[in-house]
């Protein structure tokens, strides 16, 4: 892994140094496809977070004085490294978080797209010049860095999401304390090495490995000016409610979804089946944009169901390091249990189970991978009822409800919008009026037409509404969370009126 981290376990990166930290506990990163340990890491404590925050505070005054373009230079080095190490890093991601190698490599590409966007942004206009009410005055909106940004990230995009948060925060002149997910510390180690290799000044970038207690120590500390969080609704709401009460502190939290695809009576069923399969099973359903509800018009319901179920019966899990693998394992044994609980809940609430491959047969598990966290598709149909928890709670696995609707697009949207979440969703339709109605009425941050709910372009805002998000800790809109705005008025005359 690292030339600098010569001891095992791997260390935190604080104030430009690799450190064992103050705690005595360590934890292992494991390969979800085999159960094998990959490496051991020091577990961060409150004292480690304290040291990292102190370093970030100290480094802020000098860092903010550099120009945007000078700060971006460090990011350009990382951009080139991400590109050069594309295949190698994709493989590491796949080994540590289990997603298919094509998805591991896509994660790296998304990271460099984000770094390219953030570093390129250094040469873009910042703020606004507005006309003044008085001719002799100039009026501007100027942006300033906020200070120390605490970044807390999930395991499922272990390289891309940290750069969603950190790249723009750093270019805008903030310093950073980051905690990678406990399931993907190896990816964290590599990113920290990249910042070190780029020669970023001491204290500007700091990484503390660890669990939720270290995350809470970051988000709750008064020295943190903005928290950028991506992860579960449970944790994000806890952070937002605690931090939201503190004047002057921001928490931009991106969370989960209970995403749906509406398939109307005139849908192209090839597109519908492809979109549903990709959205529900890719990355084993463990994407924030994965679809767990398919809302299908009665006129095409039976044909769609037959075609979708036929594929769900056959979708194969395999070694995620193989190029043509469609579906890898779940992240960890606890998550397999959680998926099972969601499947059980659907059954208890009256689901008609169409496919139950939660427990795969031995011959479906790839050779040599018997200790991996394998699960297969669970597909059910159920009559829509607003009281059903199985239609409202995110499973984050290959767990899919088919819901038949009869009526117009308004009825489809009633069902679609009946979840506490509002992250991603799609419509499959050949009728532009239905598509436009969906665009205007779906309670979503990310909406797709005639496409799977999959992927994101970094120069678009990425985030959800309702319970899925309270701000945009990523992409273009994150600038709002990492800068302060000053209304600046300059008098060009001697007249002080
Ligand atoms: P998680 O909420 O369990 O953990 C996310 C991070 O928060 C981890 O680093 C964890 O250690 C930390 N954490 C845990 N408890 C904390 C606390 N009390 N205070 C501060 N930090 C704490 O989420 P996960 O299992 O890593 O990721 C899966 C979830 O993330 C899913 O719900 C998925 O939908 C969501 N997600 C959302 C997006 C998006 O852009 N909307 C993207 C990816 C994943």
Dist. CA 245–CA 247, nearest whole Å: 6
From 235, 254, 396, 444, the mutation candidate for ligand 1 (largest count of ligand atoms within 8 A of CB) is 235
Residue in 253, 288, 390, 453 annotated catalytic: 288
From 110, 154, 163, 258, the mutation candidate for ligand 1 (largest count of ligand atoms within 8 A of CB) is 154
- In this prediction, residue 474 carries a pLDDT of 81
- Between the CA of 332 and the centroid of ligand 1 the distance, in Å, is 14
Q: Give mean pLDDT, residues 355-361.
A: 97
Q: What is the pLDDT of residues 368-420, one digit of tens each?
A: 999 999 999 999 999 999 999 999 999 999 999 999 999 999 999 999 999 99
- Number of C-beta neighbours around residue 33 at 10 A: 27
* Arithmetic mean of pLDDT over the chain: 95
Say whether 288 is catalytic.
Answer: yes
Residue 3 has pLDDT above 50, yes or no: no
Dist. CA 176–CA 205, nearest whole Å: 5
Report phi then psi at 27, rounded to 5: -145, 160
Q: Are 228 and 149 in contact (CB under 8 A)?
A: yes
Give the DSSP letter of residue 35: -
- In this prediction, residue 472 carries a pLDDT of 81
Which of 41-50, 236-245, 249-258, 372-381 is the least confident region?
236-245
Q: What is the pLDDT of residues 270-309, one digit of tens each?
A: 999 999 999 999 999 999 999 999 999 999 999 999 999 9
3-state helix, strand, coil in the chain (%, to 5): 40, 20, 40
Give the DSSP letter of residue 327: B
Residue 69 has pLDDT above 50, yes or no: yes
Say whether 254 is catalytic.
Answer: yes
Task: Measure the CA angle with vertex 277, ends 272 and 280; round to 5°.
Answer: 115
Dist. CA 287–CA 281, nearest whole Å: 9
Which of 200-214, 238-252, 417-431 is the least confident region?
238-252
Atom of ligand 1 lying closest to residue 289 CA:
34
Q: Are strands 137-145 and 483-491 parallel, antiparallel or unpaired?
A: antiparallel
Residue 459 has pLDDT above 90, yes or no: no
Q: What is the pLDDT of residues 78-91, one digit of tens each?
A: 999 999 999 999 99
Atom of ligand 1 lying closest to residue 219 CA:
20
Residue 159 has pLDDT above 90, yes or no: yes
Residues ≥6 apart with Cβ < 8 Å to 161: 153, 154, 230, 474
Atom of ligand 1 lying closest to residue 211 CA:
11
Among protein residues, the one whose CA lies closest to atom 23 of ligand 1: 231
Q: Which residue has the higher pLDDT, 460 or 175?
A: 175
Which of 41-45, 128-132, 420-424, 429-433 is the least confident region?
128-132
- In this prediction, residue 399 carries a pLDDT of 98
- In this prediction, residue 497 carries a pLDDT of 65
Q: Is the ipTM of this complex over 0.95?
A: yes
Q: What is the pLDDT of residues 320-336, one digit of tens each?
A: 999 999 999 999 999 99
Share of the chain above pLDDT 90, in %: 89
Residue 134 has pLDDT above 90, yes or no: no
Residue with tokens 């594309």: 86
Report phi then psi at 466, rounded to 5: 55, -135
- Between the CA of 230 and the centroid of ligand 1 the distance, in Å, is 5
Dist. CA 464–CA 360, nearest whole Å: 34
- Between the CA of 414 and the centroid of ligand 1 the distance, in Å, is 29
Atom of ligand 1 lying closest to residue 218 CA:
20
Q: Are 186 and 1 in contact (CB under 8 A)?
A: yes
- In this prediction, residue 443 carries a pLDDT of 98
Site residues for ligand 1, CB cut-off 6 Å? 152-157, 179, 181-182, 211-212, 215-216, 219, 230-232, 235, 238-239, 254-256, 288, 394, 396, 423, 464
- Between the CA of 153 and the centroid of ligand 1 the distance, in Å, is 6
Q: Band of the pLDDT at 2, cuts 50, 70, 90?
A: very low
From 232, 280, 285, 465, the mutation candidate for ligand 1 (largest count of ligand atoms within 8 A of CB) is 232
- Between the CA of 240 and the centroid of ligand 1 the distance, in Å, is 13
**CA-closest candidate to residue 320, choices 1, 104, 88, 106:** 104
Q: Are 470 and 252 in contact (CB under 8 A)?
A: yes
Dist. CA 463–CA 252, nearest whole Å: 10
- Positions of E strands within 275-429: 291-297, 352-356, 378-381, 399-405, 421-422, 424-428
Residue 26: enclosing H or E segment and its boundaries? strand 26-30
Q: Taking the mean position of all CA atoms in its chain, how far away is CA 310? A: 31
Residue 4 has pLDDT above 80, yes or no: no
Residue 5 has pLDDT above 80, yes or no: no
Residue in 254, 332, 393, 394 annotated catalytic: 254
Residue 447 has pLDDT above 60, yes or no: yes
- In this prediction, residue 6 carries a pLDDT of 47
Among protein residues, the one whose CA lies closest to atom 19 of ligand 1: 216
**CA-closest candidate to residue 440, choices 409, 399, 405:** 409
């Amino acid at each position: 892994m690292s030339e600098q981290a010569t001891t095992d376990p791997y260390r935190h990166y604080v104030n430009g140094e690799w450190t064992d930290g103050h705690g005595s506990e360590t934890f292992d990163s494991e390969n979800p496809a085999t159960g094998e340990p990959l490496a051991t890491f020091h577990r961060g404590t409150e004292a480690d977070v304290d040291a990292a925050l102190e370093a970030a505070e100290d480094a802020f005054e000098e860092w903010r004085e550099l120009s945007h373009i000078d700060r971006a230079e460090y990011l350009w080095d990382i951009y080139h490294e991400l590109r050069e190490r594309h295949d190698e890093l994709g493989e590491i991601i796949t080994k540590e978080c289990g997603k298919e190698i094509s998805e591991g490599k896509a994660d790296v590409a998304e990271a460099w797209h984000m770094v390219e966007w953030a570093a390129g942004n250094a040469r873009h206009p910042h703020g606004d010049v507005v006309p003044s009410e008085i001719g002799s005055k100039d009026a501007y909106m100027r942006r300033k860095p906020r200070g120390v940004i605490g970044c807390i990230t999930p395991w499922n995009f272990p390289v891309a999401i940290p750069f969603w948060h950190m790249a723009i925060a750093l270019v805008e002149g903030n310093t950073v304390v980051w905690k990678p997910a406990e399931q993907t510390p190896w990816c964290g180690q590599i990113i920290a090495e990249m910042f070190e290799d780029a020669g970023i000044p001491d204290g500007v970038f700091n990484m503390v490995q660890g669990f939720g207690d270290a995350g809470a120590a970051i988000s709750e500390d008064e020295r943190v000016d903005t928290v950028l969080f991506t992860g579960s609704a449970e944790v994000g709401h806890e952070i937002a409610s605690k931090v939201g009460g503190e004047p002057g502190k921001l928490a931009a939290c991106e969370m989960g979804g209970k995403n749906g695809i509406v398939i109307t009576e005139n849908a192209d069923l090839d597109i519908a089946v492809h979109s549903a399969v990709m959205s529900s099973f890719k990355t084993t359903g463990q994407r924030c944009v994965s679809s767990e509800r398919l809302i299908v018009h009665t006129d095409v319901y039976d044909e769609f169901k037959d075609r979708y179920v036929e594929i769900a019966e056959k979708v194969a899990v395999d070694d995620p390091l193989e190029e043509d693998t469609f579906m890898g394992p779940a992240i960890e044994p606890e998550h397999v249990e959680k998926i099972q609980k969601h499947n059980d809940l659907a059954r208890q609430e009256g689901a008609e189970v169409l496919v139950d491959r939660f427990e795969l047969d031995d011959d479906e598990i790839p050779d040599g991978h018997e200790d991996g966290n394998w699960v297969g598709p669970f597909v059910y149909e159920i009559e829509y009822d607003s009281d059903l928890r199985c239609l409202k709670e995110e499973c984050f696995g290959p767990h899919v409800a088919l819901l038949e609707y009869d009526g117009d697009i308004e009825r489809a949207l009633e069902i679609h919008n009946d979840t506490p979440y509002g992250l991603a969703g799609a419509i499959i339709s050949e009728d532009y009026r239905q598509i436009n109605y969906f665009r205007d009425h779906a309670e979503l941050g990310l909406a797709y037409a005639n496409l799977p709910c999959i992927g994101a372009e970094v120069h678009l805002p990425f985030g959800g509404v309702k319970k899925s998000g309270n701000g945009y800790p990523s992409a273009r809109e994150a600038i709002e969370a990492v800068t302060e705005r000053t209304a600046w008025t300059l008098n060009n005359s001697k007249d002080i009126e």
